[in-house]
Chain A
């Protein structure tokens, strides 16, 4: 561990069931992909460290359950989140509608300065056969522009654009010295110790 400051960033993933939220996280954290992932009950938690410019960011990722009825639990998870990935499936128009919903929900209920990335996943399916595309790139882009969001189309399967999503978010995260007083620094120091025991959960930094 260097004495470099680590900025923890709480990030939450929201979106309809089976759009690939957990797969995006798995790709980002473990550079892996599984066809049959166990469904997320409540939420899963993973961390990943990234070096972006002169910052080291530790993403604390809350991967939420996508099934509709879990929606009422969501406020529990996006509470205090600094960033959010709102994910939809570009082959499923309904998931795009739900993405709109989540964006509104976040704007109304989450932290004011939350950084949101809109992510259209499963690009690989569309690349296989363009007729699978049901949500146009422009639709996503327009929504993102209207709402001031980061926008990318990704494929967790091929890993296309996955890191970029997190990179873009990381770049938008303000530097810790601008944000916090000494209290936060103290927490970061404590964090370093704990992270030693915790390496099983994390990789030693991603290749961002």
Chain B
């Protein structure tokens, strides 16, 4: 069952997502963070237009240009570097610059900790310029555009941020030591003491060799180019990205640097720097703790890139275990999803554990949200998006696919879920991931589309899923082959299928943009979520235990309301749960039950009916209810079988299944009875008895009128003026007297308990009073057993009816979640009475009949018609609705005396507050002693009668 609970858990968190995601526009800060992959707490403090020049140490030496940047523009043209105009942003920990040309000619994300020096450059009066020197000895010359005072303000804020950041600068050096980019630059500095510089830790590839042939990959020359780049434009936390950066990235990263660049372009580096040590801490804090996720991870450790030698070793398996486990602790909503093992295993070839941990985090949370979630809605959604992109870009192929009913997503799902890692040879998948971290999920779509485009002709020949898959499998195995083996042009011949794939993906499908993908996602999201919801609901309802008193519709309504309540309750906390706490339960019950008050009116008490009911339903005493608990509980509560229903009510008060309750229990039962009959006392709803007397009243009126007009045809009026209050009052009185009778009889027939118990009573006066009453005398403890309880209930018509009918009908399981309207019940009832005129008409007929017998009129000739049209003609029908009528009336007679006495001084109020009610009960207790004696004689005969009911 836990399966469905957890799957439901997913769905509830997902629905929160759904509701929150009525495509809201991302804020400026969100877009900003997304563009520069900055952590969630970076917000724009200030921004300004500016021009930027990046000058390296070598440049300065050669040109000595820096100081003249603003004063002598002629010098700029001599300079080999370009000046970029764009936008400068300041956040708490970063300076960000982005060119306005194409947003990738010059992008700088500079962590404030890397700033070594900020200087104002002396310049003409109206120009404001700063020079920032970074730890890489890169000089950023920034000329502000705009009013000088604004520029001053920016620079003042920058100063403040720098000052606030001072404490972080201690972290920077050890952090940089973990980066290979720092290492190669330092190591190759002229005159560097090579023995003092240690290579930072790396991925498993360092120990077990990287997949692929390094010579063929031209690793060394790539590394050399990156080295030059780092010296020229900075690196890691202070890198300036220029065109060259993207070029270098696209030809494939050198293995030794791959981990760091992944970390950089994905933004994981910023997170790691911000959260140093968190990874170790997560592992340490949760050491020895077990979870489902951990079991699942354990199953897959030996099954993650098993061909790679590192994952045949304890070292590799150990790292993978720790990264996946730590992530399952970091994000328990995701926990562990198969395919994450493959992705993490790939990351760990190039990254240290901590690097891989943060890269995995941004991947799961930012790049492909929902892919690995517990419902995998992101995966399903992107498959739908992919299909519609195929339809748009390759209509002929799409027509073919649909014609032969090929389930495209079955083919493509693993591509997306495991980032091509288990589809194509690793070396190629890594290169796709290179681009993926830079450009985001659109890269996956572009590559996937390109795969279909390139194989399009062959795929058009195919008519089943199996061949479809195998064609693509073959293609993936030949990625290293020449794309044009027969070409005469040797350059063309050299082009591999993989290179062709990248060209098609990023050139031909360059029109696939993030906006386009987002648009498609928004379009398909509702239906995908709906499908998941339906699937989960179906699964969960199917696995509920049998509940004979509930219809399918009821259970469906319970399900909806159950999760609806939990959601609205927890949404603010952002937690999805599949169990219900008392507070939510109260809200839940309020939706279904007349007597469950809304939160604002409900005066909670740990021993009140609702709390006891909650505990009764909470079979495992977990303090929360599952859907199963609630369904099973409601099933018992709406049971119309008189005896079972009474027994169940008793069970709620019979704590330890002892089969009896003590004095306190009796009082609480009576409270409970008052509680669930409150709407009846208040006349908010009418029970069967009241309805019947209303019918009688109406019938009387009609007969009266009939006699006046002497008409053959009886008309049911469409409207009757009924003094509602009379009936409300009558009913209220009836229920209060039922309550008082109950207490009286319960104590009367309660057995003395065998073991005397002491009850602490502080108030001496009360003690005196109670002592005067034998039933309440603490020296003579009492117990009430089920049989006696039944007897006492059956002694009262209203209460008997309560358990066979009224209670059940006070729980409106046919209410679906979207109808919360509870007003107008009474109005509906009156309308119903008249609309269903049959019973009224029956009453009329009976009266007519009896008058007919006395006056010897031929009643058969008189026909009865109803005016409103929907009231039906009277049929020959017994009033079987109320079989118990006669017998219980007999009791009523028997008890009449006692009733009158008991009612004596009791104030009858429609709006009894709880305190009043308690007082009332106390008064009742006092009265009882006096009544008791008078009752004794009658009770003997009554007793005999009652026993017959006890089977």
Contact = CB atoms under 8 A, between A and B. Distances in A.
B213 to A, nearest CB: 24
B3 A38 contact: no
Interface string B394-421: 0000000000010101100110011000
B431 to A, nearest CB: 20
B7 A71 contact: yes
Given A36-B306, A77-B410, A194 B467 contact: yes
Contacts of B376: 69-70, 72-73
A103 to B, nearest CB: 11
A69 B407 CA distance: 20
B422 interface: yes
A45 B414 contact: no
Interface stretch (A60-68, A124-132, A144-152): A60-68
A37 interface: yes
A75 B535 contact: yes
Contact of B463 (A42, A45, A187): A187
Interface-centre pick from A68, A98, A108, A201 (highest chain B CB count, 10 A):
A68
Contacts of A36: 302-303, 306
Interface residues of A, number: 42
B337 interface: yes
B933 interface: no
Contacts of A71: 7, 535, 539
A42 B410 contact: yes
A194 B458 CA distance: 11
B894 interface: no
Interface residues of B, number: 50
Given A67-B337, A70-B338, A42 B7 contact: no
A36 B306 CA distance: 9
B338 A41 contact: yes
Contact of A47 (B1, B409, B466): B466
A185 interface: no
B929 interface: no
A172 interface: no
Given A68-B6, A72-B376, A43 B303 contact: no
B422 to A, nearest CB: 6
Interface string B513-538: 00000000000000000011001101
- Per DSSP, chain B at the interface is helix
A76 interface: yes
B467 A76 contact: no
A72 B302 contact: no
A47 B464 CA distance: 12
A18 interface: yes
A2 B563 CA distance: 59
B371 to A, nearest CB: 11
B410 A60 contact: no
Contacts of B306: 36, 38
A76 B7 contact: no
Nearest to B471: A197
Interface in A14-67: 17-18, 36-43, 45, 47, 60, 62, 65, 67
Interface string B523-566: 00000000110011011001100000000000000000000000
B343 to A, nearest CB: 10
A38 B303 contact: yes
Task: Return the 4 tightest CB-CB contacts between A and B, nearest first.
Answer: A42-B413, A36-B302, A41-B414, A39-B338
Given A38-B422, A67-B337, A191-B463, 20 more contacts: A36-B302, A39-B339, A41-B339, A41-B342, A41-B413, A41-B417, A41-B422, A42-B414, A60-B466, A68-B6, A69-B337, A71-B7, A72-B376, A72-B532, A75-B535, A79-B407, A80-B405, A98-B3, A108-B538, A201-B466
